[in-house]
Amino acid sequence: MKVLLKNGRLIDPVSGKDTVLDIFIVDGIIEKIRSKISTDKDTESHDLTGKIIAPGFTDMHVHLREPGFEYKETIETGCLAAAAGGFTGICCMPNTNPPLDDASVIRYIQEQSRRTNNGIVDVYPVAAVTKGREGKELSPMIELAEAGAVGFTDDGEPVEHAEIMRRALEYVSMLGKPIIQHAEDCTMTKDGTMNEGFVSTSLGMSPMPPIAEEIIIERDLRLVKYIQGSQYHVAHISAAGSVELIRQAKRRGLPVSCEATPHHFSLTDEAVRSFDTNTKMNPPLRTRDDVEAVKEGLRDGTIDVIATDHAPHSYDDKQVEYMFAPFGIVGLETAIGLAITELVEAKVLTLHRFIEKCSTNPRKILHLTPINIDVGEKANLTLFDQALEWVVDVQQFKSKSKNSPFHGIKLKGKAIGIVNNGRSYFI
């Protein structure tokens, strides 16, 4: 395979490069980087004038549903959605059936992902912290790490038991992997459907208070301080108080990080007034103050990563009364557009910082090989058009499920292709 990327603006936060140039790739390896490159007629050439070339984006938080829930998503369709969204790597969550609490399931996902779409999208399994994700007994964490798990989470459920969390942190301190916490005190959110506040009261909806997120984070931070050498990451942070807790923990030098989703910096709980079940997610959409706090956390570096929490559900799953609908929305194919529209265009983040939160930081937190855009290095690239305006049409999604609250919304910024593992995908 020979691919020439012409006239693209390369932005690489690692090297500090920001320049317009050509990149020539042969069999997946970068052979030349120059201002102008001439090639033969056998080369696949793409003019990227006005477009961005970035190190490949990695989504730390994706639900692929396979094995067990293939009617919602499969590894194949999830990888197609990732490629269409501009991601060269995704981390799959363990709430499958069977869950990712056994090395054989890890190996199954790895094998399926290599066969899928010629392996252009890397799939990194995140294993369960506890057996069956039941929160009662630790999973075989060493065995799972040896099989290829890049981290541990019971996502969809928190690790509520303090002693189990303590032991999990002790294990990851030896393994060099992060614990990724779904921060929720379920005793405070039982049967809840949306954020507790003025809107939930006016709609008569059962509440999920933000303090339920904050309490778990505050407890965990004390454990992280107690367990030397551990690494702790908060998934889909949503509340202003939670952002401040992480900010203060970082100032104290604790080894903590966190992520925010596009829906948590784009929508508020006012969206629930539509009773569209695609506005139901966990953590729930919160208030304008919370949204602004998340944006400030992204701006000042408290929030390290933008991750989608891509959670596919079938049409029938979501076409029920709000209180009975499952939590979650798809997000891989709208992430770049939402981030550029809500963050870059709004001057919350520079392009460099946006790319850093989608590429450099996820790989650093997960201890994945850094992406080096240089001659002789493997080409792992995300290509996007910052200026492209488009309207979200869920029927055009590559994902098997279409459950998005952003259908019909006009966005600015879109992926136009990826290059990875000796393959290219252009939209």
Question: What is the per-residue pLDDT for 117?
Answer: 77
Same domain, 156 and 99: yes
157, 216 contact by CB (below 8 A): no
**Does residue 157 belong to any structural domain of this protein?**
yes
**CATH number of 44's domain:** 2.30.40.10
Catalytic residue among 309, 316, 317, 385: 309
Digit-coded pLDDT (tens) for 66-97: 999 999 999 999 999 999 999 999 999 999 99
**CATH number of 307's domain:** 3.20.20.140
Helix (H) or strand (E) holding 194: strand 194-195
Same domain, 305 and 392: no
Is the pTM higher than 0.95? The answer reads yes
Same domain, 26 and 111: no
Report the C-alpha gap between 277 and 29 in whole angstroms.
Answer: 45
Same domain, 165 and 295: yes
Report the C-alpha gap between 52 and 36 in whole angstroms.
Answer: 17
Digit-coded pLDDT (tens) for 16-63: 999 999 999 999 999 999 999 988 888 999 999 999 999 999 999 999
Digit-coded pLDDT (tens) for 222-276: 999 999 999 999 999 999 999 999 999 999 999 999 999 999 999 999 999 999 9
H-helix segments, 198-276: 198-203, 211-226, 240-251, 262-266
Question: What is the per-residue pLDDT for 203?
Answer: 98
> Residue 18 belongs to what domain range?
2-52+376-426
Q: Tell me what the pLDDT averaged over the chain comes to.
A: 97
**Does residue 79 belong to any structural domain of this protein?**
yes
Count of CA atoms in the C-beta half-sphere (13 A) of 197: 18
Residue after which a domain boundary falls, among 328, 344, 365? 365
Told to judge if 155 belongs to the known catalytic residues of this protein, a careful annotator would answer no
User: Which tokens belong to 285?
Assistant: 């959409």
Same domain, 72 and 199: yes
Percent of the chain at pLDDT > 70 equals: 100
Q: Tokens 């799939």 — which residue?
A: 123
Same domain, 26 and 156: no
Question: What is the per-residue pLDDT for 41?
Answer: 83
- The total of structural domains in the chain comes to 2
Residue after which a domain boundary falls, among 342, 365, 388? 365
**Does residue 142 belong to any structural domain of this protein?**
yes
C-alpha dist (Å) from residue 183 to 1, 27, 165: 45, 43, 12
Report the C-alpha gap between 253 and 229 in whole angstroms.
Answer: 12
What's the one-letter identity of residue 410? K
**Does residue 215 belong to any structural domain of this protein?**
yes
31, 2 contact by CB (below 8 A): no
